[in-house]
Each structure stands twice: as structure tokens, then as C-alpha cells.
């Protein structure tokens, strides 16, 4: 294999740049030409591709976002779109591909490997919603960003004696709400994986208030519902003034944490090694701080396990 392509696809995540850097530098170290594909699968369809040098990835390890840019590409879901991509790969002489993204991006990677293009997936999404791996690149940074917001909101929550609902991203996965909530000492954590009773949330608020507690933080994962509607209900039921903050895309940006940079660097390098070993249709994961690779299909079938212990702990620690 002489030429490898790399792309980032789907929602961006802090640490994607560190992964791109590792792919480029490991490739060049092994005398492989690395082609950077812009805007995810769009670049593959439109031929928006450039050779990357050592200097293309200088000074990016600490930057959020992705220098290759990203996109969710509808055209690639069609056979016609994928055929265009296969032609482009041939034209640019790309013999292997590294795809950095979430489950949607992995579906595309699977199709390409089935079409005979050796492809390796690296999990990059703040959601941490891939069941086969303990961590996805970007999750740790997002949790830290949310934690910072919780601390700030807690200050004003205390000053005003209010309840504050903080809605966080994660799609159908409650990990960001759960871990940021646990680390931030939230009074309630509401996630899609567990049923919740609004009366129970209200009871906790009132108990806290009666004990002289001045602030209340309620973490709400976006997959459950709307923070403003919940806030209205809580205020009506408890009489406690309630405010809502939807953190939104702030969670997707920012300089990646040390954890994400390390994970991304190791995974990026491993992806190139796997391609050089002749592997295809594999994704890289991390369990107990060890990297491993597995078949894309099998990986996509692994059901995400919810950390029930951590969830129960949030309840114990917020009595
Ligand atoms: O998958 C990452 C994510 O940030 C989700 O948490 C969120 O639901 C979604 O992407 C938002 O997507 P977009 O940036 O396309 O609005």
C-alpha cells in the first residue's frame, strides 16, 4: 500500500485533529503518501482531496474542530454517490482509507470496505454512544466543558436560590449528562436510558430547599426532551424559580483534553498500522486503556451498556 486517505465525518469532536496528525505522521514515517479528504464523504464524492505533508498537521494537536472539516453526507448513502466516490479513490490512487467519526460514518466505512477499499474506522464523537468501545474521541473534553459550565451556573444558582436545568448533547446516549452530572454534583440526572419521574425530581428539590440548600442543578440529556418544558413543570410544581441553559454546540468545540489527545494519537497511529498489515473493515476501540480492533459489523451490533452504578451513585451523593 502506497497511498492512504483520511477523512473526518459527522459531528466534529475535540481530538479529531490529533487523530489526523497521528495518521499523517505515522503514514509519512512509513513512507506512505497521505491524502486529506475534505468535508467527510462529500470530499470523496467531489474529489476535494489534497496531499498532506508533515507541516500540514503542525500546530494542530491542541486545536478543536477538524482541519479536514466535516459533514453529514446524504449522497454517500446512495449507491450512485458511493460509485462516484470509488471512481475518485481510483483517480487519486488511494488504496486504503481511515474514517474518523461516529456510527453513521462507520456505516459508510463498512460500505467502502465491502466494495474492496481497505477501510479502518476511528471512533470520534462527543456522544460516547458506541457500545464496543469504552471511550470515543471528544467525549472527555465535552464532559470537561460541561463541568466548567456546571460550576459557573452553580454560582448564580446559589446566589438566587434557583433550580437550574442544564441540557446537554448526546443524542440517544446519556453519558455526557451522567458523567458531567456526577462530577459536578448535580441534584438530579435525567437520561434516556432510565425512566424518570418529575415528581421525584421535585421532591428532591423541595427536600434540598428545606435543608437550606441554595442551589439545585438538574442535568438533562437532550435525548429525553426539552429543558424549557421541564423547567416550566418543575417551577409550577415546586414554586422554586427555575432557569434553563441549553449548552448546545459549545460542547463540540475547544482544545481537546490530554485524555482525548492521547486516545486520538494512539488510535490514529494504530489505524495506519492496521492498513499496512492488510486489514480492512475494522474499527479501533479502547477497553481498560488498551487499544483493540474489531470487525465494523460486529462493533455496530454491540449494544451500548449504560453505567447503572454511576447513575445510582448520582442519587446517593445528592441526598
Ligand atoms: O453526534 C454529535 C452531536 O453533537 C449530538 O450530540 C447532537 O445531537 C448532534 O450532533 C447535533 O448535530 P448538528 O451539529 O448537525 O446539529
| Count of domains observed in the chain | 2
Does this model's pTM top 0.90? My answer is: yes
Give rounded-to-5 percent helix, strand, coil for the chain: 45, 20, 35
Same-domain check for residues 269 and 163 = no
Which residues are part of the catalytic machinery? Answer: 127
Instruction: Determine if ligand 1 sits within 6 Å of the CB of residue 261.
Output: no
Which of the residues in the chain have pLDDT under 70?
A: none
Same-domain check for residues 12 and 129 = yes
Instruction: Determine if ligand 1 sits within 6 Å of the CB of residue 126.
Output: yes
Max CA pair span of the chain: 70
In a domain, 307, yes or no: no
Mutate to test the pocket of ligand 1, among 169, 175, 248 (most ligand atoms within 8 A of CB): 169
In a domain, 244, yes or no: yes
In a domain, 187, yes or no: yes
Task: Give the nearest ligand 1 atom to 72 CA.
Answer: 15
The domain containing residue 163 runs over which residues?
Answer: 142-252
- Report whether 293 contacts 106 (CB < 8 A): no
Per-residue pLDDT reduced to its tens digit, 264-313: 999 999 999 999 999 999 999 999 999 999 999 999 999 999 999 999 99
> What pLDDT score was predicted for residue 319?
82
Same-domain check for residues 131 and 216 = no
The secondary structure of 19-30 as a DSSP string is HHHHHHHHHHHT
Instruction: Determine if ligand 1 sits within 6 Å of the CB of residue 187.
Output: no
Same-domain check for residues 241 and 224 = yes
φ/ψ of residue 113, rounded to 5: -70, -35
Using alpha carbons only, give the angle 61, 140, 184 rounded to the nearest 5 degrees.
135
In a domain, 315, yes or no: no
In a domain, 152, yes or no: yes
> What pLDDT score was predicted for residue 122?
98
Nearest to 222 by CA among 191, 181, 262: 191
Per-residue pLDDT reduced to its tens digit, 32-68: 999 999 999 999 999 999 999 999 999 999 999 999 9
> What pLDDT score was predicted for residue 129?
98
Same-domain check for residues 159 and 282 = no
Cell numbers describing residue 48: 476535494
Amino acid at each position: 500500500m502506497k497511498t492512504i486517505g483520511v477523512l473526518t465525518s459527522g459531528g466534529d469532536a475535540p481530538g479529531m485533529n490529533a487523530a489526523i496528525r497521528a495518521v499523517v505522521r505515522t503514514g509519512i514515517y512509513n513512507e506512505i503518501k497521505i491524502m486529506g479528504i475534505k468535508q467527510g464523504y462529500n470530499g470523496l464524492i467531489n474529489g476535494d482531496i489534497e496531499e498532506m505533508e508533515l507541516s500540514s498537521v503542525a500546530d494542530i494537536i491542541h486545536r478543536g474542530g477538524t482541519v479536514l472539516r466535516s459533514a453529514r453526507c446524504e449522497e454517500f448513502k446512495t449507491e450512485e454517490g458511493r460509485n462516484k466516490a470509488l471512481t475518485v479513490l481510483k483517480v487519486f490512487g488511494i488504496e486504503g482509507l481511515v474514517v474518523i467519526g461516529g456510527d453513521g460514518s462507520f456505516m459508510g466505512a463498512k460500505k467502502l470496505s465491502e466494495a474492496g477499499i481497505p477501510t479502518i474506522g476511528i471512533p470520534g464523537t462527543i456522544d460516547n454512544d458506541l457500545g464496543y468501545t469504552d471511550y470515543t474521541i471528544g467525549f472527555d473534553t465535552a464532559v470537561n466543558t460541561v463541568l466548567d459550565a456546571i460550576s459557573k451556573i452553580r454560582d448564580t444558582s446559589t446566589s438566587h436560590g434557583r433550580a437550574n436545568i442544564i441540557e446537554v448533547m448526546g443524542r440517544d446516549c446519556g453519558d455526557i449528562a451522567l458523567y458531567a452530572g456526577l462530577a459536578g454534583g448535580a441534584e438530579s440526572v435525567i437520561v434516556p436510558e432510565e425512566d424518570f419521574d418529575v415528581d421525584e425530581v421535585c421532591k428532591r428539590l423541595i427536600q434540598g430547599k428545606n435543608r437550606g440548600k441554595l442551589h439545585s442543578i438538574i442535568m438533562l440529556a437532550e435525548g429525553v426532551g426539552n429543558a424549557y418544558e421541564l423547567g416550566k413543570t418543575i417551577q409550577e410544581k415546586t414554586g422554586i424559580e427555575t432557569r434553563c441553559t441549553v449548552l448546545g454546540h459549545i460542547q463540540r468545540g475547544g482544545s481537546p483534553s490530554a485524555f482525548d489527545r492521547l486516545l486520538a494519537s494512539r488510535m490514529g497511529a494504530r489505524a495506519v498500522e492496521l492498513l499496512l498489515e492488510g486489514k480492512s473493515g475494522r474499527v479501533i476501540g479502547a477497553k481498560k486503556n488498551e487499544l483493540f480492533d474489531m470487525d465494523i459489523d460486529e462493533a455496530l451490533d454491540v449494544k451500548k451498556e449504560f453505567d447503572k452504578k454511576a447513575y445510582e451513585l448520582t442519587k446517593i451523593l445528592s441526598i
